[in-house]
Amino acid sequence: MQRENAGCLHWELAKRRHPAMLPASMAKGFDLSKLNGPQREAASTHQGPVLILAGAGTGKTRTITARIAHMVSSGIAPGSILAVTFTNKAANEMKERVRGMVARGAASKLTLCTFHSLCVRLLRRDITKLGYKSNFTIYTGSEQTGLIRRILVRRGGRDLKIEPGVVIAAISSLKNRGVGPTAEEDPFLHMVWEEYEREKRALNAVDFDDLLVLGSRLLEKHSETASYWGERFRYIMVDEFQDTNRLQMDLLRRLCGTEHNVCVVGDDDQSIYGWRGAEITNILRFERFFPDPKVIKLEENYRSTMPILQTANSLIRHNTGRREKRLWSRNSGEEKVRVVLLPDDREEARFVISGIEAGHYGEGMKWESFAVLFRTNRQSRLFEEELRERRIPYRMIGGQSFFDRREIKDVLAYLTLMENPDDDIHLLRVLNTPPRGISTKTAEEAIAVSRERECSVWRILCTGGLGDRVSARATNAVAAFVEMIVEFTEASRENAAAAIRGLLERIEFSDFIRRSCKTPEEANSREEAVESFLGDLDRHLETHPKAGLRGFLDSVALNGDRDNDDDLEKKKGVSLITMHAAKGLEFPVVYVSGVEEGFIPHKRALEDGSLDEERRLFYVGLTRAMKRLILTVCITRNKWGQQVGCQPSRFLDELDPEHVESADFQSFEPPPLEADQVGTEVKSILAMLQDIEDVDLR
């Protein structure tokens, strides 16, 4: 026994002293031979700070996953390993990769998640220490908008011409930088913010930014909490570190304790969340917080062909203040990057989807090999239409949320009430949905009384607090509502799925949906959405019995894009994806659509002067491609029913012409139009194409 322990100790010491010198064959169980030298060094250095700074596609994520597997196989308890990344999709990808490398029992003990879901865990355990109740609700976009709109109307009247979205963005941006507007700087914003914070507190709700703020505060102010998590997570990794903002960096520092077994991986050229306060300087400042790190550089790109890589390199070189990298690839590749000009956005969708169809049927590529990238959600509609028409399977990533559907929000509101009836926003949403005789006036009275008495609307309704301010009929309707919620809340303790089904039946939700839809198709689609959502709930309760309804509501709030593991597995097909959501992913064939001024760079970015960040976003888009990269540019686009002229993106001028071929769509598209099919309209478009090509493209 003693000898064994001594052996272990020896092994540990050897690793600490010469981690990089451990030959791959000595790594118990896990084979590091599939990594290159520097990757192996990173994967086998488990103690102390490690900084991996490397370009796109050089295997950063692969190194992190291999490192986790190697740690587990060297005897580190999987429960003490935490890997954090930025999107649910990336976290799921990482889980998927790790699952293939370690035993199932060990995999389930690892914590691989986003910063936000990590904070939810911290807060569910200890938020009472900060004066909140532990059944808090997480507000996502629409609830936040609802609350801010209410405050704006209250403070500025109905004619106030301020969009809630603008206020939310301003507050979020300041919060993420760890500062606030002072009353002198912007009195109105200051007042709205204060009221917003106060109301959330009263509603026992937190928004996405609060998760980080409160998580960090908890660790800062409560040393027992900090030491609990510090002991729990002794090995921490962060992927996509370039996108951490100040709050996340604070959290990381507080979580790391004194051991500093932290490994971060990032690429300064891919920092694309400046608007959320991400601080590219964090990556450059890492050494200050975690002294004497082992710095590892990765330069071989395994993802893309040389023409794709060189094109991306030629673009990013135009940014200033970056660390120069020498990325190279063994894959010389045969195809150049294509820039294709299309007469309009409908043609663009047709061209892209035809190309995908040809690749699938002609070259035998799977539908999953293709991705269409775009900058804004509204660009996706025509692609979706074209795909549906041709019956090509597809999945939408980072687009309009399933949870933003009206009927799903109603069901969610009822479920939330079963957990936290003090949440006014959700309560008010369903107070009269479906209509049950509780008028807007009654609701307004209830809000007014709740404000006077400084308690939630639910309290007022429960305690008959409306008195004779409303009619006897309204009083009865309110009492019936309260009784129903109490009944099903109790039932939900036993079985939440059965409770919500019972409630929906009681309120005849299905009939309500049918009545409120214009067509039977719409009604069917909405009913199906509810069924599918309830199916999600069933599955969740079955697979996570301990987490229960609260866990389900958390995961809905955190997985706004509904990309949970099961879902991703099930959804096959062409990926339609925003450039932001594409980070970290790769596809054999990538179409970047709408490479035009106003999209990329985005017009808002031009006003803000964040051109460099736009260039990085475009760089992220280009570097997703493995074999084939096609950029499409429209000459006109339909905007609000009118054809509006577009300008090719200035970034196209920055691409190295050696690796790029540009042409109008017909030269790339089989089959070509016959001469007699070419009408005058098409001829004039071709003439325009010629002009633009001469002026704007090399």
Q: How far is the CB of 324 from ligand ATP (least distance, A)?
A: 16
Active-site residue flag, 240: yes
Looking at this protein, which amino acid is placed at residue 123?
L
Helix (H) or strand (E) holding 281: helix 280-289
Instruction: Tell me if 621 contacts ligand ATP by CB under 6 A.
Output: no
- Among 40, 60, 375, 615, the one annotated catalytic: 60
Q: What are phi and psi of 73, to 5 degrees?
A: -75, -15
CA distance 259 to 370: 44
Q: How far is the CB of 97 from ligand ATP (least distance, A)?
A: 9
Total of residues contacting Mg ion (CB under 5 A): 3
Closest residue to Mg ion using C-beta atoms: 61
Provide CB contacts within 8 A for 198, sequence distance 6+.
none
Q: How far is the CB of 62 from ligand ATP (least distance, A)?
A: 3
Active-site residue flag, 217: no
Q: How far is the CB of 35 from ligand ATP (least distance, A)?
A: 5
CA distance 394 to 387: 7
Interaction partner, residue 58 (ligand ATP, Mg ion, none; CB < 5-8 Å by kind): ligand ATP
Q: In 157-234, which residue ranges form alpha helices assigned H by DSSP?
A: 164-176, 187-203, 208-221, 223-232
Closest residue to ligand ATP using C-beta atoms: 59
State the binding string over 133-172 for ligand ATP (x if CB under 6 A, else -): ----------------------------------------
Active-site residue flag, 539: no
- 46-75: which residues touch Mg ion (CB under 5 A)? 60-61
Region binding Mg ion by CB under 5 A among candidate stretches 129-137, 160-168, 363-371, 577-585:
577-585
Instruction: Tell me if 433 contacts ligand ATP by CB under 6 A.
Output: no
Interaction partner, residue 59 (ligand ATP, Mg ion, none; CB < 5-8 Å by kind): ligand ATP
Instruction: Tell me if 56 contacts ligand ATP by CB under 6 A.
Output: yes
Q: 425 in helix, strand or coil?
A: helix
Q: How far is the CB of 270 from Mg ion (least distance, A)?
A: 9
Instruction: Tell me if 584 contacts Mg ion by CB under 5 A.
Output: yes
Dihedral sign, Cα of residue 130, residue 135, residue 140, residue 144: negative
Whether the bond into 671 is cis, omega within 30 of 0: yes
CA distance 74 to 692: 60
With contact defined as beta carbons under 8 Å apart, do 290 and 260 qualify?
yes
| DSSP string for residues in 600-625 | TTBHHHHHHT-HHHHHHHHHHHHTTE
Question: Of the candidates 44, 58, 475, 593, which one interacts with ligand ATP according to CB under 6 A?
Answer: 58
CA distance 330 to 299: 11
Q: How far is the CB of 323 from ligand ATP (least distance, A)?
A: 14
Nearer to ligand ATP, 382 or 585 (CB): 585
Region binding ligand ATP by CB under 6 A among candidate stretches 29-37, 135-143, 520-528, 568-576:
29-37
Helix (H) or strand (E) holding 644: strand 642-645
Question: Of the candidates 343, 359, 421, 584, which one interacts with ligand ATP according to CB under 6 A?
Answer: 584
Q: How far is the CB of 61 from ligand ATP (least distance, A)?
A: 3
CA atoms within 13 A on the CB side of 452: 9
| DSSP string for residues in 41-105 | HHHH--SS-EEEEE-TTSSHHHHHHHHHHHHHHTT--GGGEEEEESSHHHHHHHHHHHHTTS-HH
Instruction: Tell me if 38 contacts Mg ion by CB under 5 A.
Output: no
- Among 239, 269, 536, 612, the one annotated catalytic: 239
Total of residues contacting ligand ATP (CB under 6 A): 19
Interaction partner, residue 302 (ligand ATP, Mg ion, none; CB < 5-8 Å by kind): ligand ATP
Interaction partner, residue 341 (ligand ATP, Mg ion, none; CB < 5-8 Å by kind): none
CA distance 173 to 276: 6
How many residues would you count in the chain?
A: 698
Instruction: Tell me if 61 contacts ligand ATP by CB under 6 A.
Output: yes
Looking at this protein, which amino acid is placed at residue 282?
N
Looking at this protein, which amino acid is placed at residue 261?
N
Active-site residue flag, 624: yes
Name the token pair of 370. 């293709």
- 289-318: which residues touch ligand ATP (CB under 6 A)? 302-303
CA distance 384 to 465: 51
Nearer to ligand ATP, 301 or 433 (CB): 301
- 257-296: which residues touch ligand ATP (CB under 6 A)? 267, 270
Interaction partner, residue 57 (Mg ion, ligand ATP, none; CB < 5-8 Å by kind): ligand ATP
> Would you please indicate which residues are annotated as catalytic (active-site) residues?
60-61, 239-240, 270, 624
- Per CB under 6 A, residues contacting ligand ATP are 34-36, 39, 54, 56-62, 267, 270, 302-303, 584, 586, 623
